[in-house]
A = this chain, B = another copy of it.
Amino acid sequence: MSPRTQQQWAEMRWNASEKIISAALDVFKQKGFHRASMEEIAKQAEVSKGLAYNYFRSKEHLLAAVMERRFNEAVALIQGIDEISGALNQLAAILDRLLDAVKKDTMLYKFYLTVFLQPDAPEAIRRIGKTSEKIRSQWEKIFEVHRAIFSELGVTDPEAEVIYFRSLTTGIVAEYVMEPRNYPLEKMKAHVLHMYRMKKGGAD
């Protein structure tokens, strides 16, 4: 019946879809969500505007698809972390990975932050963060890894420490992406680690 096999169709779809998502991310990073036009995204993806709408019902849905990747990356940051021995080393690794990523793709993280801060943080995105079971469980996992580390470090209230640590890293990333040239990223990293080293030492 079909001129192409199911698999062939799926492949085509996947290819185009990936190209579009990737192009969208590029343009979003460069111009921000509002200033990015579907026209430009399509052009960047070497695809017609119509096709983009074939795959993504709206610009916001496209944004949602782009953001979904953020979660995968966030998860990647803690992958294999339990193979590292010592909570401090684990923490250092996480920090290393995050800040390296930020350094390598500063605009990307800047973009992420703006998305989460938009007052009209599109419902689509919120929905992703809240209803997708897979994502929820991944967030849980990330949280759990951090909690375990701080537990091992012997902090009084590990759960609070996770939030504190997240706030701290968010702040470092935010300040860095605002002015990458002047921000002493490495120094801050060292500062953070030093702090936790002290804490652990103090606890002994």
**Which A residues contact B (CB, under 8 angstroms)?**
29-32, 34-35, 107, 110-111, 113-114, 116-120, 160-161, 163-164, 166-172, 174-175, 177-178, 183-184, 187-188, 191-192, 195, 198, 202
Q: How far is the CB of A142 from chain B (nearest CB, A)?
A: 14
Is A119 within 8 A of B29, CB to CB?
yes
Main SS class of interface, A: helix
Contact of A163 among B110, B174, B188, B195 (CB under 8 A): B188
What are 30 of the A-B contact pairs (CB < 8 Å)?
A31-B119, A32-B120, A35-B120, A107-B119, A113-B113, A113-B117, A113-B174, A114-B117, A114-B119, A116-B178, A117-B117, A117-B174, A117-B178, A160-B187, A160-B188, A163-B175, A163-B183, A163-B184, A163-B187, A164-B188, A164-B191, A167-B168, A167-B175, A169-B171, A170-B170, A170-B174, A170-B175, A171-B172, A195-B195, A198-B202
A31 proximity list for chain B (CB < 8 A): 119-120
- 8 more A-B contacts (CB under 8 A) besides A167-B168, A171-B171? A29-B119, A32-B118, A32-B120, A164-B188, A167-B174, A171-B174, A195-B195, A202-B202
